[in-house]
Amino acid sequence: MHPLSPLLRGGLALLVIGGIIIANFRDRLVEFFFAREALKNDDLAGVFDEQDIFGYIVEQGLLLLVLGGALGVILLIVLFSWLAWRFSSYRVTAEAVETRSGILFRNHRRAPLERIQSVNLQRPMLARALGLTKIEVVTAGQDGKVELAYLGHADAKTVREQIMQIAAQKRRGDAVGAVPLDEIHGAAAVAFDGSVYATDTAGLAGRAQDFVDSDVDPDAIAGGALVRVPVGRLLGSIALSWEAIILVLVVVAVVVGGAIFEPFMILGILPLIVVMAGVMFGQFNRGFNFTLSRGRDTVRTGAGLTSTLTESIPFGRIHAIEARQPLFWRPLGWWKVRITTAGHSVAQGGQNASQNVVLPVGLEADVLRVIDTLLPGVGDDEAEIAALRNGLSGPGTGYRGPGQRAGWVLWWGKPRAGIALEGLGSEDATLRIRRGVLTRSLSIMPIVRAQSVQLRRPLVHRMLGLASVQAHTVLGPVRMEMRGMELGIGQRVFDELATAVLRIQGAEAQRLAAARSPRAMQTPVEEA
């Protein structure tokens, strides 16, 4: 790890906490260490209380002793930080990414390459200022994260590419060989084992470039396979979001109520304004300078203002995708896209807004490009594009709608609700569900990613002769469920979906088994 890693992992917080303690208890500290005997005399106690503490220390000739004690504390912190750094290491092998840390209590974490769901680069503000980056390797297990914190920014990008390349080799069934790190020159720091960190390869200009680096793939820019979010559109989407509209309505109601009944009611709205302002700033921070690019084996998203997050998701790790359009975005034709991927467990707070949004706001053309990028094979020809437009903002031709009495469970969302199975004759078959009235949505799930299929009839559905069909995915924000279907139609959809899941997943299992056969796993040396 980088030598400054302990500072960002807790050393800085320790210094700040120590400073706060000293600032708040300085009188007690001086009394305990230096003036205990003096304060036993009542006459001297009153004089001491009125004196400046620093002046007292100087008069007593204790300045060097105090400075020496402070220096000793700092040296102890530096020593423990150095030991923590010295015993922290990582390695990337042909099988896994591993980290080891700890002195008294050793911690060894291992992320198998075939289980990797995404590789993220996180750069908080202080880390960006120091030219450092944290790598987060996310797997599909509970609390399945392996963190490399921290590396130089150039090193982090290189290590990420190394991880993604080896993981892609394993998924394709190719011979897995070591991908050597590029040789780096002009290092600003040297590790204990002789390795170097290029955090200042071009002096101050290089550090400034690292600070503003959005980590966008140049090849993607040249090829046009890139989605960007303008700042003006991002601000407009936040102003027209449900959070902002609700905040405005609440403020107006409280102000009117305060003017009519009790003026002090207005003060009660201040905490809500602060909270909602923080939420909206968080949305702006996460969507600022958003870009989406497509590489050979991964989809890459990057965004952030004060802190940046770059996420690299291998193809085939996306379980579901959803395009959403709130009511006040509809006249402008704006949409938001979010996804479900494995690896964000309940213990980590699930998949929150910062983890699953792959397009904060965009036009319909941007949504089509995002879907084509995230789900190869979906949206790659004119017929498929027309089908997606039909599901997004069209009449939903070909979708099986709800039953006649579904208005009792779907309310005003009945006219838009519908379900469709697309491409059942191919391995890229998908399940698509339309829903919503105030917030329109189109959810798409590759059938190969279905965990199970369920036909259920809650009490109200049974009373109305209706049924609900749901395809389960891993934990995530996209819910693949169609409610309010006629019982007979729901049973047919369930049978078709279950048959497609068994056929497609069986073919996928055979393909993976063939790719992992002894012949496919031989190295060139063994073949020779």
pLDDT digits (tens, 9 = 90+) for 264-287: 777 777 788 888 888 888 889 888
Q: How many helices (H) and strands (E) would you count in the chain?
A: 20, 21
How open is the CA angle 404-406-409, to the nearest 5 degrees?
165
Please report the pLDDT score of residue 205 as a whole number. 54
CA distance 521 to 511: 14
Nearest by Cα to 338 from 316, 313, 355: 355
Pick the residue with more confidence: 345 or 65? 65
The first and second tokens of residue 518, run together, are 């002894």
Please report the pLDDT score of residue 64 as a whole number. 79
**Confidence label for 475 from pLDDT (cuts 50, 70 and 90):** confident
pLDDT of 78 higher than 60? yes
Please report the pLDDT score of residue 27 as a whole number. 57
Q: Which of 39-48, 245-254, 447-456 shows the highest mean pLDDT?
A: 447-456
pLDDT of 221 higher than 60? no
User: Chain-wide mean pLDDT for the chain?
Assistant: 78
Contact 162, 181 (CB under 8 A): yes
pLDDT of 431 higher than 90? yes
The first and second tokens of residue 357, run together, are 């949004």
How much of the chain exceeds pLDDT 90, in percent? Answer: 28
Task: Report, as an integer, the average pLDDT of 472-483.
Answer: 91
CA distance 507 to 420: 22
Q: Which of 38-47, 121-130, 196-205 shows the highest mean pLDDT?
A: 121-130
Q: Say which amino acid occupies 42.
A: D
Please report the pLDDT score of residue 306 as a whole number. 82
Nearest by Cα to 403 from 462, 470, 472: 462
Secondary structure class of 52 (helix, strand, coil): coil
How much of the chain exceeds pLDDT 70, in percent? Answer: 73
Please report the pLDDT score of residue 234 as a whole number. 94
CA distance 206 to 213: 10
- Burial label for 306, CB within 10 Å (0-12, 13-18, 19+), is exposed
CA distance 214 to 193: 31
204-236 burial, b for 16+ CB within 10 Å, e for fewer? eebbeebeebebbbeebeeeebbbebeeebbbb
pTM of the model: 0.76
Please report the pLDDT score of residue 314 as a whole number. 81
Nearest by Cα to 430 from 521, 341, 343, 500: 500
pLDDT of 392 higher than 80? yes
Can you say whether the dihedral through the CA atoms of 218, 224, 227, 229 is positive or negative? Answer: positive
Please report the pLDDT score of residue 528 as a whole number. 31
Nearest by Cα to 240 from 108, 135, 333, 110: 333
Task: Report, as an integer, the average pLDDT of 38-54.
Answer: 50
119-133, 249-263, 354-368, 397-411, range with the lowest pLDDT: 249-263
Secondary structure class of 448 (helix, strand, coil): helix
97-117 burial, b for 16+ CB within 10 Å, e for fewer? bbbebeeeeeeebebbbebbb
Contact 378, 392 (CB under 8 A): no
Please report the pLDDT score of residue 32 as a whole number. 54
Pick the residue with more confidence: 50 or 58? 58
CA distance 367 to 475: 23
Q: What is the CA radius of gyration of the chain?
A: 29
Alpha-carbon separation of residue 371 from 203, 233, 339, 367 (angstroms): 40, 20, 10, 6
> How many other CB atoms sit within 10 Å of the CB of residue 438?
12
490-511 burial, b for 16+ CB within 10 Å, e for fewer? beebbeebbebbeebeeeeeee
Pick the residue with more confidence: 143 or 447? 447
pLDDT of 222 higher than 50? no
